[in-house]
A and B are shown apart, each in its own frame.
Chain A
Amino acid sequence: MKCDEYDVVIVGSGIAGSVMAKTLTRAGKKVLLLEAGLQAGIAMDKEGAYQNYQFYLDTYYKAAAKVPNSPYPNLPDAPSPDVLDIAPIPNSCSPSTKGYLVQAGPIPFASDCYRGPGGTTLHWLGSTPRMLPNDFQMQTKYGVAVDWPFTYYDLMPYYEMAENEIGIAGDVKEQIGPDVEPVKNYGKDYVFPMQKIPQSYLDQTIIEITNGKTVTVELNKKEYTISYVATPQGRNSIPEPAYKYAGVAWNKKTQKLELEKTDAEYDPVGSLWDPYTGQRCEGNSSCVPICPVQAKYNALKTLRTADHDNLDIITQAVASQVLYDKGSMDITGIEYKKYRYGNSPIYEKGIAKGKIYVLAASAIENAKLLLASGIANSSDQVGRNLMDHMVMLTWGLLPKKGFPYRGPGSTTNIPTFRDGDFRKEHAAWISPIDNWGWAWPTFAPGSDVSNAVGQGMFGKQLRDHLSDIIPRQLLLHFECEQLPEPGNRVTIDPRYKDQLGNYRPVIHYNASEYMQRSFEAAKKVSDQLYKAYNVQDFTSYSAQNPDHVQYKGKVYNFAGAGHIVGTHRMGSDSNSSVVNPDQRTWDHGNLYLVGCGNMPTLGTSNPTLTMTALTYKAAEAILKQLEN
């Protein structure tokens, strides 16, 4: 195509950028997409896509630590945050600069994301519960944080679009918990595109471990009944015959995005290199960091189905500055640096021009780019309110073998503490049952082998020991909802730049007392669960771990969930938010921000689904603006 001026310029090919590109190009708009990662990663032809993905897989197989970014290239020209770089922060005057993020603390931010074609959906787990209606009204209901500028029910049609595009497998009828009922939250007769992924053997073991006896726990003198829900997820399964939507299309007449009906059965979207590979989840169990058959959704599947006659993509192009007219405040271009190859300091500058601009570069990168350009910040909210699920882990040995690693990473969650009056005092949480043994907190099973060898075991004794403990490993998450706080933020500092001269994000991060109280509460719940399950608790927290807090004399460790949210919040007035309910910046009439950065609060859901729903809402607003 190659035009001088496009209808829309998008920065980033993750799920927000890809959904935006697909929706706009299919509505006939000319789009230019800038992607910071390598050209090879965006290959849309079968052979190129296959070769590139095999390279990721090889890298993963050879990696010593199988962390979320281990399969993917980390480029000096467009570096990604990495959890392996988390280090203690001596004091705020000397931040930890070990990795890409400059960690000013007081405690290090614990999550990563991926900067490259397809974005973080390459390594996401794929869990897609919706947020709860009460999550949108935290101020009204519980007197904390802020309300969203619209309700859950306003977002419902866009949730359905997101569930269509990602291809969700799940059973709506099973979505029951605090503030969730199938008809209330999903509408009468609504079904997901695919039937639920079977719950893992481990999950069934736990659900049946009390022999049908209900498990109750006490918290703050209140009794709660523990329930289990099969988690909806973005991985392929058996098509649901009752699902009758084809895809999202722009209706010029109504000026709305609509889900088109069809009589054809839903067709699971296979891998990029072969539509017949990955039509079902095979239970390879390496979802994070990489699904070997692409049965798990990734954003490149969306980008591939954009209208490529209306789409130009420039890769290896790192957006460095958003240019604007000081009179009209309109954005006039995005300056980018196009490097020659992944570690080359040589680059050429270019300027991308369009009528409308969309930043979809991740919560951290969007905020950084806005700060670097000195724009969109009349509210002083850019970069602030950085949030994540602070994940407290507990682990123990089951009384009988539950055989983790059978099936995908997580298929069941405990929703019991996702909502309740306690949110006035401490964070809500969701508790997924983790299917990867103690891998996360202890690097099991490798560490089990080295520990046992260290104790002098070998031969049959060693084998017997390992086959006794590894199949009994249980890991529970308590993913606690962090609230927006102005001090948790992304800033920039001229002292910290990457090799292309772009800013590195400086992160200021802490766990408030609201969070600390939730760790205390979650640990109390965990103790009661383990007692009811007859699980031997091996949880141990250490002040040596850089991500620790001390509360009432006890140490708690937390991990990041990779749910990086909130750095350019959406709101109903320009004084306290960066974007309006259409996700257009208050300050610039032709600049939209998409991605998790818009979310005013986080809820207890994995944010990708909600963020994708929001992106459809933004795409609709952009199409309206372009046509009027």
Chain B
Amino acid sequence: MSKFFQKNNPKRQRFVPEDKPDKSLLKGRAMADTAPPDPEEIKKRLLENLQQAIKLEHSTIPPYLCALYSIKDGTNEFAVNTIRSIVVEEMLHMVMAANILNAIGGKPAINTKDFIPGYPTKLPMIDESFIVNLEKFSKASVDIFLQIEKSAEHPEHDGDDYHSIGEFYMAVRRDLIKLNELTNGEIFKGERQPQVTSEQYYGSGGKLIAVYKLEDALEAIDEIVGQGEGIDNTIDDPDQEMFGEDIEYAHYFRFNEIYHGQKYKPTDSVHDDPSGPPVNVDWDAVYNMQLNPKMSDLPEGSPVWQKMYDFNKTYMALLNNIHDACNGQPSLLITGVGLMYDLKYKAIELMKTPFGEEGLMAGPSFEYVQ
């Protein structure tokens, strides 16, 4: 049969092994070994961590969008398609994290002032030394993206902190399993109404998973981690082709193809750089966007300030829309599509507007506005 339309390679998912030690339970919170775990405490931690997960997934979107929108129309098709598909998946992850939070009786908060990171920033919850900027598409910015999406292969380390997104989700996963056990499954309310489903969300790799029970929640987490980091390094099956035209592989590897200007070939190993056919990456066909622009850099009321303000108003409208959709009105998400287009047009307008120094252009600042 035709190999076309093989949408998902099941191997792309990184199923977190059950026997890995869980730092969140071992360190600092290691009450588990000595005293019976307190379900109230786990639930409190989960509600917090899932809200943080939504924030974390969202925090990658503005940097990816800046890179995407800085690429000049009609150029860098490969990079544009790659980044676009990854952004759509990050939005999917954000909504799935909200679904899990809703499933255990939480209330996602997506439109609050502290929801948006102030760039430059570290990623929420992830204690790594790299700083994420709002900046144009460049080899340096793609290098940061690689660090964001990098695999969970880290040496054992001390402390409560998480060194990768995967590590953070592993802790959430453990807590969900534990709490489900302690409450005999009661923690999952099984309510249909607040769940965003594939009816409202589409256009990305992997289906949106509605969460009614533990298995759904775990599948959603595996999907999030799998799409980001991809194949677990502990799985090393030399007979399995990990790459190819119709195999979807994780964000890390897709960014790596842009970084190297070369695609993976089916026989490449996940440990090596891509060695397949070259792809055209034109690092110069890019608007020269100011690094981390801010409205406060500009005289209030000036034309560029106004454009930036308009952009942020659209961005807030979109966050409000997603907030309402994830708080009981899922069908609102369908109307958010128009806002997403609007956001793009306004961002590109900024990229074409000179800003301060000779040769620099303005850009979207992704700031909270009333």
Contacts and interface: CB of A to CB of B under 8 A. Distances in A.
A279 B77 contact: no
Interface in B63-116: 74, 77-78, 81, 85, 88
B320 interface: no
A275 B85 CA distance: 10
B77 A51 contact: yes
B1 A276 contact: no
Contact of B5 (A47, A54, A274, A305): A305
Contact of A54 (B77, B78, B203, B245): B77
A58 B74 CA distance: 9
A308 B81 CA distance: 26
Contacts of B85: 274, 276
A251 B360 CA distance: 65
Nearest to A265: B198
A383 interface: no
A49 to B, nearest CB: 11
B3 to A, nearest CB: 8
Given A282-B337, A305-B5, A276 B203 contact: yes
Contacts of B341: 282
Interface in A256-307: 265, 268, 270, 273-277, 279-280, 282, 304-307
B357 interface: no
B27 interface: no
A238 interface: yes
A273 B4 CA distance: 11
Interface string B202-221: 11110000000000000000
B202 A50 contact: no
A301 to B, nearest CB: 10
Given A268-B202, A276-B85, A276-B204, A305 B2 contact: yes
B199 interface: yes
Contacts of A493: none
A304 B77 contact: no
B2 A308 contact: yes
Main secondary structure on chain B at its contact with chain A? loop
A309 interface: yes
Nearest to A269: B5
A308 B245 CA distance: 15
B204 to A, nearest CB: 5
A464 interface: no
A44 B4 contact: yes
Contacts of B1: 307, 309
A45 interface: yes
A492 B77 CA distance: 46
B189 interface: no
Nearest to A280: B202
Interface in A543-593: none
Interface residues of A, number: 27
Contacts of B81: 50, 273-274
B152 to A, nearest CB: 26
A118 interface: no
A98 interface: no
Residue from B7, B88, B202, B205 whose CB has the most chain A CB atoms within 10 Å = B202
Interface in A1-55: 44-47, 50-51, 54
Interface in B170-221: 198-199, 202-205
Contact of A280 (B77, B88, B203): B203
B199 A238 contact: yes
Contacts of B198: 239, 265
B280 to A, nearest CB: 10
A276 B2 contact: no
A47 B278 CA distance: 13
Nearest to B205: A276
A332 B82 CA distance: 49
Contacts of A44: 4
Contacts of A270: 203
Nearest to A50: B77
Contacts of A308: 2, 4
Contacts of A268: 202
Given A238-B199, A265-B198, A276 B88 contact: yes
B125 to A, nearest CB: 28
B352 to A, nearest CB: 18
Nearest to A45: B245
A402 B17 CA distance: 58
Interface in A228-270: 238-239, 265, 268, 270
Contact of A305 (B4, B203, B205): B4
Contacts of B4: 44, 304-305, 308
B180 to A, nearest CB: 27
Nearest to B5: A305
Contacts of B245: 45-46
Nearest to B337: A282
A26 to B, nearest CB: 8
Contacts of B77: 50-51, 54
A304 B77 CA distance: 22
Of A45, A47, A50, A309, which is in contact with the most chain B CB atoms at under 10 Å from its CB? A47
A304 B5 CA distance: 9
Contacts of A58: 74
A307 B245 CA distance: 17
Contacts of B203: 270, 276-277, 279-280
A307 B199 CA distance: 30
A282 B337 CA distance: 8
- Most central of B1, B74, B204 by chain A CB within 10 Å: B1
B88 A307 contact: no
Contacts of B5: 275, 304-305
A611 B34 CA distance: 74
Contacts of A277: 203
Nearest to B3: A308
A265 B85 CA distance: 22
A44 B198 CA distance: 27
Nearest to A293: B203
A276 B204 CA distance: 5
B157 to A, nearest CB: 37
B66 to A, nearest CB: 21
Contacts of A45: 245
A309 B202 contact: no
B199 A309 contact: no
A44 B81 CA distance: 17
A58 B81 CA distance: 17
Nearest to B341: A282
Nearest to B6: A275
Contacts of A280: 202-203, 337
A419 to B, nearest CB: 36
Nearest to B81: A274
B185 to A, nearest CB: 25
A624 B2 CA distance: 24
A309 B2 contact: yes
A46 B5 CA distance: 11
B7 A307 contact: no
Contacts of A238: 199
A122 to B, nearest CB: 19
Contacts of A46: 245
B339 to A, nearest CB: 13
A97 to B, nearest CB: 38
The 5 closest A-B pairs by CB, nearest first: A279-B202, A276-B203, A308-B2, A279-B203, A238-B199
22 contacts: A45-B245, A51-B77, A54-B74, A58-B74, A273-B81, A274-B85, A275-B5, A276-B85, A276-B202, A276-B203, A276-B204, A276-B205, A277-B203, A279-B202, A279-B203, A280-B202, A282-B337, A304-B2, A304-B4, A305-B4, A306-B2, A307-B1
Given A275-B5, A305-B5, 6 more contacts: A45-B245, A58-B74, A276-B203, A279-B203, A304-B5, A309-B1
Interface of A: 44-47, 50-51, 54, 58, 238-239, 265, 268, 270, 273-277, 279-280, 282, 304-309
Interface of B: 1-2, 4-5, 7, 74, 77-78, 81, 85, 88, 198-199, 202-205, 245, 337, 341
